[in-house]
Structure 1
Amino acid sequence: MQKKLKIFLIIAIPFFVIVHYLGCWKYYYYIEGYDKLVHVLAGASVVLAVYWFLEERAIKVNKQLISLIALLFITFCWEVYEYLIDNVISPYFILTPRQMGPIDTLADTLAAFAGAIIILIWFYLKERNRG
């Protein structure tokens, strides 16, 4: 595995485990913008990981587009997971809902997309300056 991807994953995985754990303790209620910041960072992280993975394999595709499609798919899966937890599992356990409704889902998706766009712009500028 490429060195920068390996280092990134070594840092990112524990970070998101901790962030998710803190979210289970309702930190998104105590810290203004916590939930959206986490989604922005997650979007940026997914795009970085997918982009570097494709770059390492020297696959001749539009890495930016594939990274963005991967992000949208993963974000969709995550939001479905949150919905299922809230509506299927939560009624049988004493769990605090994660979703605040469709507006929260849309805001989470847009936050992840914003994180992705920031990274994609960074990659674009980096490649433009290189060539």
Structure 2
Amino acid sequence: MVSDGVKQHSVLVVEDEDNIALALDYLLTREGYSHDRVANGSEALPRIRDMQPDLVLLDVMLPEMSGYEICQAMRLDPDMGAIKVLMMTARGSAIERKKGLALGADGFISKPFELGELRAEVRRLLEG
């Protein structure tokens, strides 16, 4: 999407918890990003392929397919390899973070997150 000659970044939120998805919707809308959401791991890859977003906000713990599996599949697919991935998890240990980054995530944020911290990470990945 282009407005005033500037491409509007697109974000896909992959999050099964409605309250977190609502907070992300609020933040992304305020920041001016176009965005969509899927709530189920098995719906994520087809939607990413179809949408080709600039960034995927990816929860680790999802029904049917984990965020780790989704991230790994994205990195193995040349059509999705360049899409930025910011993983989110309530289990924000150093081991979880290392695993996410090893599988190809571009960033990792622990829940509950501060909106300012999340905004900074999204901007870093999209406007780098």
Is TM-score (shorter-chain normalized) higher than 0.5? no
TM-score (norm 2): 0.26
Task: Determine which structure has the larger helix proportion and give its number.
Answer: 1
Structure of larger gyration radius = 1
Structure with bigger strand share is 2
